[in-house]
Copies of this chain bind each other. A is one copy, B any other.
Amino acid sequence: MARIQDVAKHAGVSVASVSRVLAGLPGVSEPTRARVMASVEALGYRPDLAARRLRSRRTDTLGLIVSDIRNPFFMEVSRAVEDMAYANRLRVMLCNADEDPEKESFYLQMMRDENVAGVILSPTLARLNNYRPTEYPFPVVLVDRCNSMVEADAVVLDNMDASLRLTRHLVDNGHRKIAFFYGASSATGQQRYDGYLSALAGAGLSPIAQALKPTVEEARIAARNFLERQRPLPDVIVASSGLILLGLVEALRDTGLKYPDDIALAGFDDMPWTRLLTPAITVIAQPTYEMGRSAIELLLARIAQPEQVVRRIMLRGELIVRESSQARRAPPSAQQ
């Protein structure tokens, strides 16, 4: 591997000049610049990142810590972040905390060690609940999960509102006994639960809630138990995330129940299969790519302007009504 010394020798200049040319600094004559560039080319020189980082104390690297990489939502977010980083010639370290606070801590520690320029994080509930921005030596942008207590740059869906609208849609369609399966271990799940409660309260209905771990398998098992034991069945079940929704559909399949006739269905995240199933499934679609893009934009802005005012971007979910949320029977005739 050629070093900066070799380039300097080859070009007949000093290492300082080479460094200046490579950094694009002014104060280098055009002929010198040209000769340096030629030598860099000729020798196939590449700066040693370890040395550069040690010396400059910068890394041009971002961290992205998602809570579940299997979740298509986070895949889209990751993709957006990755795209933007590539465009800005930044490196990204993608880590999967797997909803595990310990793994999350490990990775945040790793980000410190790596001396990253900033981190995009979808925090576990535990971390969010006593979140201290000053705890980290790098700027952090929260994505997907945040609450109004926390003073931090963030990009989130308006979960409360989206869930409220989804639940109201169900109420308006004649559903009365509305069950809610949600991931209680994340702020997002809780907020969506709150939106659900709020809509029910407005309609004078009582909640039927089931908190669970936000994985397909957990949801499937919980839903199977629920569907086998709960009598009478509710009119409809709402899932607070795409993963839970998938588990629900599988449980329905397991138990032989048909939606929307035996029980209706709705949820979050417009995954590819939600519109392909027959009947297709009513969901709140999230602007996932946009969320990832906004997150990295916030982060880059914060890195450029550390003292900038805290910004929270709240995006609106889109209610996509499909067949799965139709009521078994027409609304009470009193309403007609």
The answer to whether B91 touches A103, judged by C-beta atoms less than 8 angstroms apart, is no
Give 1 or 0 for each of A283-311: 1 = CB within 8 Å of chain B CB.
00000000000000000000000000000
The interface residues of chain B lying within 8 Å CB-to-CB of A222 are none
How many Å from the CB of A288 to the closest CB on chain B?
Answer: 11
Which residues of chain A (34-82) have a CB below 8 Å from chain B?
A: 46-51, 53-54, 59, 69-70, 75-76, 78-79, 82
A154 at the binding interface (Cβ < 8 Å): no
Of the candidates B69, B216, B253, B277, the one whose C-beta lies within 8 Å of that of A75 is B69
Interface size class of A (residues with CB under 8 A): 35 or more
Of the candidates B51, B91, B110, B272, the one whose C-beta lies within 8 Å of that of A273 is B272
Task: Count this chain's copies in the assembly.
Answer: 2
The answer to whether A253 touches B272, judged by C-beta atoms less than 8 angstroms apart, is no
Give the secondary structure class of A's interface.
Answer: helix
A226 at the binding interface (Cβ < 8 Å): no
Of the candidates B95, B112, B115, the one whose C-beta lies within 8 Å of that of A50 is B115
How many Å from the CB of A35 to the closest CB on chain B?
Answer: 23
Of the candidates B69, B93, B95, B246, the one whose C-beta lies within 8 Å of that of A272 is B246
Q: Give me 8 A-to-B residue pairs in the complex whose CB atoms sit less than 8 angstroms apart, sorted by A's number.
A: A46-B112, A50-B54, A91-B93, A92-B93, A93-B94, A94-B94, A246-B276, A278-B278
In the A-B complex, the 4 residue pairs with the closest CB atoms: A273-B273, A50-B53, A50-B54, A94-B94
| Known A246-B276, A249-B276, A271-B273; 6 more pairs at CB < 8 Å | A46-B112, A50-B53, A69-B82, A91-B114, A272-B273, A276-B277
